[in-house]
Amino acid sequence: MKKMEDIPDRKLLLFKSCMVSQEYPGIEKATKYLFDRLGIDYFVSEEQSCCTGIGHYVDLYGQLTTTAIAARNFAVARKCGYPNIACMCSTCYAINKEACELLNGNEEVRAQVNSVFREKGLEDLVYAKGDLDERTNIFHVLEVIFSKKELLTEMTEVDFSGLKAAAHHACHYYKFRPEDMIGNPENPRLIDGVAGACGADMLRWYEDRSLTCGMGFAQLHIHKDTSLKVTQTKLESLRKAGVELLLHMCPNCHIQYDRCQPVIEKEFGSEYDFVHMNIAQFAALALGADPYKVCGLQTHSVPLENFLEKYGII
Amino acid sequence: MTLIQIDEYDTPAGKSLAETIKASIRTPDSLGLDRCIQCGACTASCPAARFTAYNPRLLVKRVLENDRGVLEDETLWNCFYCYTCQLRCPRNNSPAKLVQVLRQLALNEGIGLENMEHFLGLGEFFAAHGISQVPEHYLGKMAEALGSSWVEFKRDLPAIRAELGLGSLDIRDERKEIRSILEGTGHFERAESLRARLKESGASEGIEENKFLNAIPGKNKSEDINLEKNGRYSGPEALIV
Amino acid sequence: MKASPEKTAAFICHCSGNISDHIDIRSLKNALKAGGISVFDFEYLCSSQGQALIKDRISRHSFEKVVIGSCTPSKHGQLFKKCVRDAGLNPAMLEIANLREQCAWVHPEVSEATEKALSVLKGKIRRLEKAEPMDAVVINIRQKALVIGGGIAGIAAALSLADNGIPVYLIEKNTSIGGQMAKIGKIFSPDKLAEECAMCSLSPLMNEVASHPAITLITSAEIENLSGSSGNFTVKVRKNPRYVLDSCVACSRCSNVCPVLMENEFNCGHKDRKAISLRFSQSVPKTYAIDPGHCLELGGKKEGESCGKCVDACRVGAIDLGQQPEVLELEVGAIVVATGFEEYDCSLKPQYGYGIFENVVTQTELARILGLNGPTRGKLMRPSDNKEGFPANNIQENKIQENKIQENKIQENNLQENHVSTPEVPKRIVMIQCVGSRDEKAGGNPYCSRYCCMAALKHANLIRKKYPETEVTICYIDMRAFGLYENYYRAVQDMGVKFLRGRPAEVIEKGDKSLVVRVEDTLKQELLELPADLVVLSAAMVPSEGTQEIARTLNLSQDESGFIKEKHSKLKPVDSSTEGIFVCGTAQSPKDITDTISQAGLAAARARAYITNSPRTLEHELASVNPLLCNGCGKCQACPFEALSLNENGRIVVDPLLCTGCGYCVELCEREAVRVTGFTAQELLAEIDGVLEEGDLLTFVNSGIAYLTCDNIGNSVLSYPANVKTVKVPTNLVVSLEMLEHAFKKGATAVLMLEDAPDNPKAETIHPFAVEHFEKLKTRLGENGKRLYFKKAYVPNTKGLAETFTLLAGES
Ligand code: SF4
Ligand code: SF4
Ligand code: SF4
């Protein structure tokens, strides 16, 4: 199990996510805002590419391609001197972790990836065993924020007391490498910890807490009905639990909940009166960040205005 | 370097399905495939099993019995890759990983190509932009479902990003590194051969023109918006109290 | 002490042709005589006439050293030793030349066998020139045992020791003995196919412990530290105050007036216990005790509060709030560790909702619910329906316990009463097996806990009998009802208990506190959501905190799960890693009551054998330290058996009970102060000198399994060349570079080191060192290293060994 004191706050490469960039850019801005406020030393590289996650998990890219792309991003991290990768997307986290494991543990893969680099004249990308450590160099942004949660409590400005919120932890964070996360993987409490530190009243348990968001990569597209059914199941248990806000940690989940909630309401004839946010957006709000200029809440499909008004933010 | 060599890593030839899966670089050495006790914890935990006819335990069983018919089982394409099975398996097996290898094996045999059709172009987009996006076909579907507000948002994205002080969507890749890597690891060949087989099989549904799509910027060529210099967040600090 | 040849005698046995048919005794005698040795031969030296002959000749001629050429020393070594001792010689002055198993029987050619016999005898004679008399080491073992842990294992071990005449201290950390078995209410009987009252079996044993003259029971006590050495342990015990004197008559007046109601650990945290109470009504000793953490007087509550009500209520003045802890020092010869298990913390598997949903309980908690002295007085109900609880009513309970016959009656009444199902009786119960067991995931345990399948069957059966309308479903992966337990399993199946093969994914709570178990019926391939009023988790057995602590305090090896590791799973199942400390019950591995009691009996028997073998004369080779040479550098303390320690004078001393004479320490000592008696370098060099001839294969043979295997080649009528010469060593660790160089100089073509295969505890320890030693010697020999070989000997592999001999002896 990962320990909180093992989470670095220096030399973090804030790993951009395609889905954050294209759907909820406020997550990135809110994360930077938090990092700045929390005094975290980070860097964003314009050379860092997509992790391949989307293509990888729709069965398009081979593991070797994915691993080579990751090796390139590791070289980016290395070259800019920010070797601690902090992902905003849980799939980036999983992809990078697995690629790093392979590069360190499988000589044949490493040799093959490096030979591709050499063949293409990209010597500077060559990966040497141990360049990065899958356990001590690859993190989810939430872990970093979680490790500073005492500071958050001190800095919180918005009074969220009485807010009933629930957490949805990302599958590719806690189910992918359960032995390498903070806390018990059967009951991840990172989001709860951060939101709790900001004053929210977190639901201890709800039915289908561990159910996936339903996106399932290709599933949302090739089996849309099942995909939405899963999401609806989840929304139903949240409704029963009477929450106002669902917090997540991955743009894929975010799309599934926020973008699809109105679609589900229409298709299943149900109505949900709760809203969605990434935990970084929520923590930034708590610290007094602007809901639009920092958290980018205008990009959401489920309008947050009532929520913001209720807590005196707008 | 040939295509076959690349395939070798995901689906290395083996005496049985189980041997191929264990030797695949997609699965760790510690995989408990042979240790599966058919307890059903995976199936009981699986969202796909809950809502469809898919059954990961059975899948493992069929793999262990070397039943190649499993490759033709359509439910194979129902897995969400959520890894809940892996989290729960008391033997450290991972049906989620099994399925990944099985789908590759199926594709090798030309099975399930129709599921891939609209994703096959992702590599091209990636090579051109350094990022990935939802394939156009599905963007169109999303536009249909989500309606004008989302389409408007997509149109406004550059402006919103600018307001948030975020840089270009595209990455800086002067040496065309992404393209080289996709090439070098055989991706384009793989995608091409899948595309060819798909055409052969006649299962292709083709891409229809979608009116919403044209409204969305950045879907084709790189439109560098606001290319900011490498570095820390340079946006307005005004909000910090 | 050097004897002239005239003072040395050789006795040669014909073994009625077994030896004399293959070896020319006459030429052997002549050759020896030519060297000035007196030689005698006889048909059967092991017969009483033969023994008389040996003794007679020794005393008549005042021989000082004796070689006997006969069968293997493993056969009559002890007998001949006694002979020479009777004749007034130190047994170290006797050497036995193995002329049968390792000569006559393996070399068909008479001339070759005779030649080899001569060299073997010569080797022994040369060796005797360097022999020094050995003082027998005599050890007195303390005639007392200590049993740690007062659960069923400790009780059984203590009673068995005491009944066999060994005085025993029994230490228990709680205020009463009884352990987990006291909690479980019922035990099942695989032959009567019924459930019996656990307390009715346990209670008499507990009382026997209390009244046994040979048992000193010390409760509320913990082990602080262990010192001394095997056979003579000193154990420091801290006895915590119970604040009630032995004069307590258990009238319960005190607890009736006590205002503090607290969580009862015995009833799985149910709030039904007073700050002054008995652990349970049948407690032994039957003396009340105060929980100082909760007692108002002893500082459990806020400033200014005081109480002391119990002191006033007690009519015999038994309450002493000023009692202080005591430290006792116990001197014992052997220790039995019986510190038991605890139930796995199911909240580590939150998917099953334990600790989150009220109506998810463990099997032990269910046992308490079903127990007549439990929180619901034996009535099956959901914890969520038992909000007010049943405040402890000790008076009533005491009355019940006063008379067992009466107790049984009440039990029957209760049974009848309960037959009428009340609305609160849960209608659907689902049991989940293997929670925390057979689970490779973090927080789980890879092993099977062995007891839980049977516990589930027992509870399911009990419930079905008492509440036929309640449906019980057991979700299992495999039902493990080993041996005759299968009969009980079948009987439970007949009772209509449902069995569902599948490991549940999760438990869900509904608004009315009822539950749903999500599981695949793997036999029907159906995904189910089983509704349940009560979910019972069959939690794993994990070593108790006490077990882990004791392992640390006593420095005992543990396995990766924390159980105390036995020396050998098959051969030494109750010996701990420390000589004289034994382990039994669930402190050693998960097991049920039957197995626990059997194992406790074995541990007691082993401890008793250890204690009663006193004074003990140690015959085996031992390390000895020359105090004049030893400078106390302590390097030899790396002894793998921990036999060497520094004494108060800064000199190394050998614990003869721990030393195996392996010789590992010999090389460690730079000052040559340590040696293995009977196997000094001088002795071995002399033997090599005598036995070895040009062109020979010299084999150093471990005196254990390896030597036995060499003998077995002879027993199996196999043969090998006569130029194979063996020299017996305690282990190959005593073989030095000097010996090897000497052997090669004398013309050995090759040298083989034959070691015991690591199949027994001693060899397991030695083997890696022996391999390391061999590799070091090989490098240091340089070119000759190529001719040094190492082989593991297994008893059944006689043929393989003979082939190796033949192969290597053929090399030149
Ligand atoms: S959970 Fe694991 S052991 Fe159980 S059936 Fe699934 S793969 Fe096999
Ligand atoms: S990864 Fe696939 S098989 Fe495993 S639980 Fe999720 S959907 Fe089911
Ligand atoms: S005894 Fe039964 S329930 Fe207990 S761990 Fe073994 S198989 Fe599982």
pLDDT in tens, A86-103: 999 999 999 999 999 999
DSSP H helical segments within C563-673, as ranges? Answer: 593-612, 664-668
Record: contact C350-A184, CB cut-off 8 A:
yes
Q: Atom 5 in ligand 1: which residue has the minimum CA distance?
A: B38
Residue among B50, B62, B85 whose CB has most ligand 2 atoms within 8 A, to mutate: B85
> B58: CA distance to ligand 2 center in Å?
12
Evaluate if residue C413 carries a pLDDT over 80: no
- From the alpha carbon of B56, which atom of ligand 1 is closest? 6
Same-domain check for residues B152 and B217: yes
A contact residues 127-156, partner B, Cβ 8 Å cutoff: none
> What CA–CA distances, in Å, run from A248 to A173, A189, A296, C612?
11, 11, 15, 69
d(CA C649, CA C632): 9
d(CA C787, CA B22): 43
- From the alpha carbon of B40, which atom of ligand 1 is closest? 5
Q: Atom 4 in ligand 1: which residue has the minimum CA distance?
A: B39
Same-domain check for residues B204 and B153: yes
Handedness of CA B80, B83, B89, B94 (dihedral sign): positive
Q: Which of B134, B149, B185 sits opposite A68 (nearest CB)?
A: B185
Is it true that the peptide bond before C285 is cis, omega within 30 degrees of 0?
A: yes
Chain B neighbors of A69, CB-CB under 8 A = 178, 181
Residue found under tokens 């070091």: C776
Burial of A157-181, coded b for 16+ CB within 10 Å and e otherwise, reads ebebeebebbbbbbbbbbbbbbebb
CB atoms within 10 A of CB C424: 14
pLDDT score for C372: 84
**CATH 3.30.70.20 in chain C, residue ranges:** 617-675
Chain B neighbors of C525, CB-CB under 8 A = 55, 58
CATH code assigned to C346-401+422-542: 3.50.50.60
Identify each DSSP E strand in C240-295 by its residue range: 261-264, 270-274, 276-277, 289-290
Domain C617-675 belongs to what topology? Alpha-Beta Plaits (3.30.70)
- From the alpha carbon of B85, which atom of ligand 1 is closest? 1
Evaluate if residue A264 carries a pLDDT over 60: yes
Residue A39 distance to chain C (closest CA, Å): 34
Q: Which of C349, C351, C508 sits opposite A207 (nearest CB)?
A: C508
pLDDT band at C133 (very low <50, low <70, confident <90, very high): confident
pLDDT score for C283: 94
Q: Closest residue of A to B97, CA-based?
A: A176
Domain A6-140 belongs to what topology? Glutathione S-transferase Yfyf (Class Pi); Chain A, domain 2 (1.20.1050)
The token duo for B167 is: 């840089």
Same-domain check for residues B172 and B223: yes
Nearest to A182 by CA among A133, A132, A148, A216: A148
Q: Pick the last residue of a domain from B93, B111, B129.
A: B111
Judge whether A157 is closer than 8 Å to chain B, CB to CB. Answer: yes
Chain centroid offset of residue C172 CA: 20
Q: What is the mean pLDDT of chain A?
A: 96
Chain centroid offset of residue C105 CA: 40
Domain C145-239+544-612 belongs to what topology? FAD/NAD(P)-binding domain (3.50.50)
Judge whether B40 is closer than 8 Å to chain C, CB to CB. Answer: yes
Nearest to A132 by CA among A181, A96, A173: A96
Residue A80 distance to chain B (closest CA, Å): 10
Count of structural domains, chain B:
2
- The architecture in CATH of the region A149-310 reads 3-Layer(aba) Sandwich (3.40)
Judge whether C609 is closer than 8 Å to chain B, CB to CB. Answer: no
d(CA C496, CA C499): 9
- From the alpha carbon of B49, which atom of ligand 2 is closest? 8
Q: A139 φ, ψ to 5°? A: -135, 165
Provide the 3-class DSSP secondary structure of residue C416: helix
> What CA–CA distances, in Å, run from B107 to A221, B23, B66, B121?
18, 18, 18, 16
The burial of B53, by beta-carbon neighbours within 10 Å (0-12 exposed, 13-18 middle, 19 or more buried), is given as: exposed
Same-domain check for residues B86 and B52: yes
pLDDT score for B50: 97
Chain B neighbors of C527, CB-CB under 8 A = 43-44, 49-50
Chain C neighbors of A179, CB-CB under 8 A = 442
Summarised one tens digit per residue, pLDDT across range C599-634 is 999 999 999 999 999 888 877 788 988 888 888 888
Chain A neighbors of B230, CB-CB under 8 A = 43-47, 80
Summarised one tens digit per residue, pLDDT across range B117-130 is 999 999 999 999 99
The answer to pTM > 0.80 is yes
Which one-letter DSSP state was computed for residue B41? H
Query: Between these two residues, A82 and B238, which has the higher pLDDT value?
Result: A82
Residue ranges of domains in chain A:
6-140, 149-310
C261-271: average pLDDT = 86
Q: Check if the beta carbon of residue B1 is closer than 8 Å to that of residue B186.
A: yes
d(CA B164, CA B235): 7
B37 lines ligand 1 (CB under 6 A): yes
Provide the 3-class DSSP secondary structure of residue C36: coil
Judge whether B107 is closer than 8 Å to chain A, CB to CB. Answer: yes
Residue among B45, B52, B80, B88 whose CB has most ligand 2 atoms within 8 A, to mutate: B80
Record: contact A218-B119, CB cut-off 8 A:
yes
Residue among B21, B30, B58, B60 whose CB has most ligand 1 atoms within 8 A, to mutate: B60
Evaluate if residue B239 carries a pLDDT over 60: no
Of the candidate CATH numbers 1.10.490, 1.10.443, 3.40.50, 3.30.60, the domain formed by C1-134 belongs to: 3.40.50
Residue among C352, C452, C474 whose CB has most ligand 3 atoms within 8 A, to mutate: C452
- From the alpha carbon of B59, which atom of ligand 2 is closest? 3
Same-domain check for residues B224 and B123: yes
Summarised one tens digit per residue, pLDDT across range B139-163 is 999 999 998 999 999 999 999 999 9
Q: A232 φ, ψ to 5°? A: -65, -40
pLDDT score for A15: 98
Summarised one tens digit per residue, pLDDT across range C709-718 is 999 999 988 9
Domain of B60 in residue numbering reads as: 17-111
Chain C neighbors of A234, CB-CB under 8 A = none
Chain A neighbors of C349, CB-CB under 8 A = 186
d(CA C357, CA B3): 54
pLDDT score for C298: 86
Summarised one tens digit per residue, pLDDT across range A266-305 is 999 999 999 999 999 999 999 999 999 999 999 999 999 9
Lowest mean pLDDT among A200-214, C22-36, C209-223, C411-425: C411-425
Q: Which of B6, B81, B229 sits opposite A57 (nearest CB)?
A: B81
Q: Which residue, among C359, C440, C503, C506, would best test binding to A if mutated, counting the most A CBs under 10 Å from its CB?
A: C506
Record: contact B169-A21, CB cut-off 8 A:
yes
pLDDT score for B204: 72
Q: Check if the beta carbon of residue C87 is closer than 8 Å to that of residue C59.
A: yes
d(CA C738, CA C742): 6
Q: Atom 5 in ligand 2: which residue has the minimum CA distance?
A: B46
C76-103: average pLDDT = 93
pLDDT band at B6 (very low <50, low <70, confident <90, very high): low
Is it true that the peptide bond before A262 is cis, omega within 30 degrees of 0?
A: no
pLDDT band at C391 (very low <50, low <70, confident <90, very high): very low
Q: What is the mean pLDDT of chain C?
A: 90
pLDDT score for C415: 41
Chain A neighbors of C508, CB-CB under 8 A = 207-208
Evaluate if residue C315 carries a pLDDT over 90: yes
Record: contact C522-B39, CB cut-off 8 A:
yes
Evaluate if residue B203 carries a pLDDT over 90: no
Evaluate if residue C423 carries a pLDDT over 90: no
Summarised one tens digit per residue, pLDDT across range C546-597 is 999 999 999 898 999 999 999 888 889 999 988 899 999 999 999 999 999 9
- From the alpha carbon of B96, which atom of ligand 2 is closest? 1
B95 lines ligand 1 (CB under 6 A): yes
Q: Pick the last residue of a domain from B82, B111, B140.
A: B111
Q: Which residues line ligand 2 (CB under 6 A)?
A: B 45-48, 56, 79-85, 95-96, 99
Q: Which of A22, A259, A293 sits opposite B146 (nearest CB)?
A: A259
Q: Pick the last residue of a domain from B111, B128, B161.
A: B111
Nearest to C441 by CA among A176, B36, B32, B90: B90
A contact residues 70-99, partner B, Cβ 8 Å cutoff: 72, 80
Summarised one tens digit per residue, pLDDT across range C724-738 is 999 999 999 999 999
Record: contact A179-C348, CB cut-off 8 A:
no
d(CA C66, CA C49): 17
The token duo for C627 is: 């105090």
Evaluate if residue C359 carries a pLDDT over 60: yes
**CATH 3.50.50.60 in chain C, residue ranges:** 145-239+544-612, 346-401+422-542
Evaluate if residue C3 carries a pLDDT over 60: no
Nearest bound ligand to CA B54? Answer: 2
- From the alpha carbon of C437, which atom of ligand 3 is closest? 5
Neighbours of B, requiring at least 3 CB pairs below 8 Å, are: A, C
C-beta contacts of C187-195 below 8 A and 24+ residues apart:
C187/C458, C187/C593, C188/C454, C188/C457, C188/C458, C188/C461, C188/C488, C189/C488, C190/C483, C190/C484, C190/C485, C190/C487, C190/C488, C191/C484, C191/C487, C193/C487, C193/C488, C193/C491, C195/C458, C195/C461, C195/C462
pLDDT score for C132: 87
